[in-house]
């Protein structure tokens, strides 16, 4: 018996790219560990069953939307369509799932990470936005199911915010989208409606509840906030005013088309912008050591190995990954690796392309992911490095993006205005949300032979290198 089912109720011609500034010296912020306790597989299956039918495209895997990397041609899309923009948070992506347990008669909350692990969270509660207990003078039963959200799924990012005065870190969850609310799918609504309901139905009621019961607020494992959004032409405000004031790590911008639905998996209506010199790829790293002088059949673990980067092709086992390129590690870096005692072999690592070294360089481990970036994603990230947009080009487009938004707004108002000879007002035409067109089939092999790399040069072939 499932307790959660029991109820008590054509590309443009681009101008030359201006010189790219050196990488900004961002303050290093720690990445938080995901709180909570892992739940058994049986419980996870019971909880997941609630999402079937409510989340189109849900297969049991992590249902979060994935952005595509921005290229120069993407700038035209920002001018021709309405997008929202926000800072790209450097934290841990998790979905928050809220359910009602009919056996225990209580609300339960879970965090779902990219590995599709479910962790149960204690002392985090979300009242229903129409709950009578939020009204002044309420003296009824707070355990009534009607007072609490049930089967609600939102998308966001966990971060450690650092107080600039005390230097103390505080765990916060920034919500930027809503997939399901109280057993009703929100995914087919446009972003403006989803975000508005998320603020009004989830964030605001919880804050009201905490004002009535401060003890629960103090017991909550983290604070839940709505992630600030701006119209796309406000990207200069985000870059130049908001980002410098952030208390957590950041690494770019996210643009989301307003009239689009929420899509599970890759979504071309969500654009990820990073300065080209800060774009990164998640690879699987393997180490290959030279043979020992004493015994050629054994590796010499004291010598510096070759660092091989592999891209994910899907599936499991040895066929799931294929060789891509090598990662350059200096002798000093190798000595530091040995001294750290950290295991590097067979781990997912985030790497950036170093133009000066003409090679991939290590950034950090990605233990929050089972696999590296899918091969198609890697190709798109490579395109964004090769054909990327620097900050100056982005800022130069602000007037055109603003003008495009103004013209669409004026046209929509004109459409909504009734003709002089008509007594009844007409409704404005609601744009039809675009449907994802990406094939769900596996890509054809693209041939990443070993040792010829996909993006290398010299013995590794052509690509990013000059």
Cα 202 from Cα 225, distance rounded (Å) = 10
Cα 404 from Cα 402, distance rounded (Å) = 5
Of 23, 88, 115, 380, the active-site residue reads 88
Tokens of 139: 């003296």
Q: Is the peptide bond before 451 cis (omega within 30 degrees of 0)?
A: yes
Burial label, 435 (beta-carbon count in 10 A; 0-12, 13-18, 19+)? exposed
Cα 311 from Cα 324, distance rounded (Å) = 6
Report CA torsion sign: 60, 61, 67, 69: negative
**197 is an active site residue:** no
Active site residues: 88
């Amino acid at each position: 018996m499932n307790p959660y089912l029991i109820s008590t109720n054509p590309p443009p011609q681009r101008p030359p790219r201006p010189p790219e500034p050196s990488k900004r010296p961002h303050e290093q912020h720690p990445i938080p560990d995901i709180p909570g306790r892992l739940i058994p597989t049986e419980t996870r299956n019971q909880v997941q069953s609630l999402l079937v039918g409510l989340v189109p495209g849900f297969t049991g895997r992590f249902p979060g939307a994935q952005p595509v990397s921005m290229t120069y041609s993407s700038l035209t899309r920002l001018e021709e369509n309405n997008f929202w923009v926000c800072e790209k948070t450097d934290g841990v992506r998790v979905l928050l799932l809220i359910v009602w347990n009919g056996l225990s008669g209580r609300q339960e909350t879970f965090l779902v990470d990219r590995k599709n692990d479910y962790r149960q969270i204690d002392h985090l509660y979300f009242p229903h936005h129409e709950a009578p207990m939020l009204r002044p003078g309420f003296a009824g039963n707070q355990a009534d199911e009607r007072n609490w959200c049930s089967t609600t799924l939102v998308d966001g990012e966990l971060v450690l915010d650092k107080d600039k005065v005390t230097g103390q870190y505080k765990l916060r969850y920034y919500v930027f989208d809503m997939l399901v609310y109280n057993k009703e799918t929100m995914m087919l609504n446009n972003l403006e409606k989803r975000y508005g309901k998320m603020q009004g139905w989830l964030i605001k009621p919880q804050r009201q509840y905490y004002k009535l019961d401060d003890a629960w607020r103090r017991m909550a494992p983290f604070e839940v906030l709505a992630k600030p959004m701006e119209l796309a032409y406000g990207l200069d405000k985000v870059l130049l005013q908001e980002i410098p004031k952030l208390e957590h790590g950041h690494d770019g911008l996210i643009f989301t088309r307003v009239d689009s639905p929420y899509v599970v998996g890759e979504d071309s209506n969500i654009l990820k912008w990073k300065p080209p010199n800060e774009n990164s790829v998640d690879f699987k790293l393997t180490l290959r050591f030279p043979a020992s002088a004493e015994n050629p059949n054994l590796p010499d673990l004291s010598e510096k190995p070759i660092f091989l980067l592999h891209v994910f092709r899907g599936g499991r086992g040895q066929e799931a990954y294929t060789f891509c390129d090598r990662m350059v590690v200096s002798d000093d870096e190798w000595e530091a690796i040995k001294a750290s005692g950290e295991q590097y072999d067979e781990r997912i690592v985030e790497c950036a392309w170093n133009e000066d070294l003409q090679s991939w360089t290590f950034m950090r481990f990605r233990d929050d992911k089972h696999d590296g970036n899918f091969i198609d994603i890697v190709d798109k990230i490579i395109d964004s490095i090769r054909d990327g947009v620097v900050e100056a080009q982005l800022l130069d487009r602000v007037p055109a993006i603003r003008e495009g938004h103004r013209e669409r707004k004026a046209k929509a108002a004109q459409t909504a205005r009734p003709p002089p000879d008509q007594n009844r007002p007409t409704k404005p035409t609601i744009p039809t949300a675009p449907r994802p067109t990406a094939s769900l089939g596996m890509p054809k092999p693209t041939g990443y032979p070993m040792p010829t790399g996909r993006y290398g040069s010299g013995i590794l072939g052509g690509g990013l290198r000059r």
